[in-house]
Structure formats: structure tokens, C-alpha cells
Amino acid sequence: AQSVTQPDIHITVSEGASLELRCNYSYGATPYLFWYVQSPGQGLQLLLKYFSGDTLVQGIKGFEAEFKRSQSSFNLRKPSVHWSDAAEYFCAVGARTSYDKVIFGPGTSLSVIP
Amino acid sequence: KAGVTQTPRYLIKTRGQQVTLSCSPISGHRSVSWYQQTPGQGLQFLFEYFSETQRNKGNFPGRFSGRQFSNSRSEMNVSTLELGDSALYLCASSLDGPGHNEQFFGPGTRLTVL
């Protein structure tokens, strides 16, 4: 069964600073990996996803993530954070078949200091 | 195209009552998944429907049920409400299933059980 951990419950960064959110997964095969963002009062929105190919994945809003199989990690990065990036970020692991469920990590809450 | 819509947005019920939540997926999406989001447990998978059939189910008691109609709209029902059922209930649609596809989330229904 899949599982996901996000070691950081809450992170605070200054506007303009770089950001890295950590994600570790457990899955028996090559996983489908996702990062979603949830702004206050909103549903979740996909930032990016990875299955195969280039291990550095580009997403929306200037985010990128790097898949490292040896570390079972899929960390999310952004070189310069904007105040509007303050939100909850969820890493998730899927599966090969479309009908399999997706398991979400506990989330990391990001605060941005102006 | 229109996004995922959920109705109602807010609900207040008392213990022992039952509730029905509704979700309209993006046009053309045949899969609808439901999640319960709470501060303590995070995002937990309830069930997934595809072409009116439940294909996957999470670890929730039988009080939680759902269905999907021929137009892909879905409803979930919670009977005999308990205080612990207070949560944000999110619906997500995808083309043919959540496992390796992007899920599009609705804004959620905030259920409060008194």
C-alpha cells in the first residue's frame, strides 16, 4: 500500500526567499506522484505530477519538483516565494491503474512574511 | 469549462440526523472521488465512482455511502451523524480515475455536527 509523509507541518519563509517542501513516499513500484495546493476556503489544485522521464518536473506558478528514487523523495521547490503562495501543500502518491486511490500526505502549511 | 461544483457549501446538523451532499463533476469526467478533510486526520479517501459503479472504498463505516448518476453527478450520504463527522467534504473529478490522473477538486462542503 502507498503512504506519504511530509515531515514539516508548518514552514514560514520571507517573501522572495527560496522554498523547499519535503515529501517522502512508500510504494512498491514506480509511483505516480503529485503536488497539490489548497488556498484557504478552496479545494485543491494540481501544481505538478510525475510518473516517468525527466526527474525534474516543472509545474504551474513557478514550482518544480525533483524525483529521487534512491531517497523515495519528491520535494517541491520554488526559487522565489510570493505572498500569494501562502497555502497548504499536499504531496500525494497514486498508482498505475486509474481506479486506484490516491493517498495524500498530511500537508505542509506555508506562511509567507512580507 | 465549468469546474467541479458542490452543494451545499455549508451545513449544520445535529447528532443522529442524516445528510446528503452533492457533487457535479467537470463535463466529460466519468470518475468522482470523495474525501473527508479534518485537521487531525488530513485528507482521507472515502470512495470513488466511475460510470455509476463504486470501484474503490476507504476505511469508513457503513454510515457513509454514495452513488453516481448516469450524468456522472454524485451524491454522498452520511446517516446517524456523529460529532466526529464534522469536516470538510471534498469531491474531485477526473477523466477515468484518480490513480494517475489529475483530479479537479470542488470547493467542498463544510459539515458541522452539533
Q: What is the pLDDT of residues A4-54, one digit of tens each?
A: 999 999 999 999 999 999 999 998 777 899 999 999 888 899 999 998 888
Interface of B with A (CB under 8 A): 4, 31, 33, 35, 42-43, 45, 48, 50, 55-56, 58, 90, 92, 94, 96-108
Give the contacts of A67 (CB within 8 A, at least 6 positions apart). Answer: A33, A50, A55, A56, A57, A73, A74
Residue ranges with strand state E in B1-114:
5-7, 10-13, 19-24, 31-38, 42-50, 53-57, 64-68, 74-78, 87-94, 104-105, 109-113
Contact A96 B99 (CB under 8 A): yes
Q: Is B10 exposed, middle or buried (0-12, 13-18, 19+ CB in 10 A)?
A: exposed
**Is the model more confident about A64 or about A95?**
A64
Contact B99 A42 (CB under 8 A): no
Q: What is the pLDDT of residues B15-51, one digit of tens each?
A: 999 999 999 999 999 999 999 999 988 999 999 999 9
Q: What is the pLDDT of residues B55-86, one digit of tens each?
A: 999 999 999 999 999 999 999 999 999 999 99
The reported pLDDT for the residue numbered A2 is: 81
Backbone angles phi, psi at A71, to 5 degrees: -105, 0
Task: Give the pLDDT band of residue B100 (cuts 50, 70, 90).
Answer: confident
Task: Give the pLDDT band of residue B1 (cuts 50, 70, 90).
Answer: low
Q: What is the pLDDT of residues A86-114, one digit of tens each?
A: 999 999 999 878 778 899 999 999 999 99
The reported pLDDT for the residue numbered B72 is: 95
Contact B100 A104 (CB under 8 A): no
Neighbours of B9 (CB within 10 A): 12
Q: Which among B43, B94, B100 is the nearest to A90, CB-wise?
A: B43
The reported pLDDT for the residue numbered A98 is: 76
